[in-house]
Amino acid sequence: MNKIERLNSEFKISERLLFREMEKNLTCIVISNPYAEALISLYGGQIVSFKPKNEVDLLYMSPLSNFKIGKAIRGGIPICFPWFGPHPTDQSKPQHGFGRLMTWEVVQALELQSGETEITLKLGASDETKEYWANDFVAELIILVGKKLSVSLKITNQGTAPFDYSCALHSYYRVSDIANISIAGLIKTPYYKHGEPGDFLQNTPELVFNQMEDRHYYNTEETCFIEDTTYNRTIRVSKSGSKITTVWNPWIENCASISDLPDNGYRSFVCIEAVNSFGNSITLNPGESHKTAAYLEIC
């Protein structure tokens, strides 16, 4: 019995949840229930697609994305852990940590009475993770697929000493065109700008895009709304366990320098990320846990 046969034997739920091979021998979870369809890669624990019934995918996946061990998948919802951005002291370590570069273990698959589907994945400390980070931990990812997509990352300190970590649910939202959208919900919210000193304050009710944006809004747990006039839809983006909201679009020049994005790829997505970093990193004592969650739906 091969890996996919074993997973289907243990966790398959009729035609609602099953396992199949993705590109380049990666394994994915295929979910189809009365509310939505979703695709989840075990490599990276990464949600690749989430399509509510009769809707265009809420998530963006680059057509040039790598689906290869050792490379990050560009799009969907990457799991940034145990650091966000470059490693604070060692630039040779992978951008955004190793969580998105490891294969996660399936723990549980459930069909709920509501008809929603819940899958639990796990990544624990190993010789491989300790090449990058010495701490003993368990990361648990709980994904609920229904009318709403819920993604919860729970980190537990299984060691004998405290540790610090940062993380993000780095969600790429598909849009009709970056010129056609606005983001509401961040008025009067302070933020840092990547690469620029000082603090800023958003004074407009909505953020619109006419240049590269890499904003880290802080002290906020507010819900954001992506208004898309061409798709005629509003995506509600809410979160818990995070007080930093990062909004990113690379725009023309930066997009052209990213090898796994088409030169015009910046037009098709915006990232709104639930982040624990920039003064909001998490410290866990032995036995303690913290949960960072994101929720997205059409409203």
Residues noted as catalytic: 170, 273
Task: Please state the separation of Cα 233 from the chain's center in Å.
Answer: 21
How far apart (Å, rounded) are the C-alpha atoms in residues 234 and 246? 19
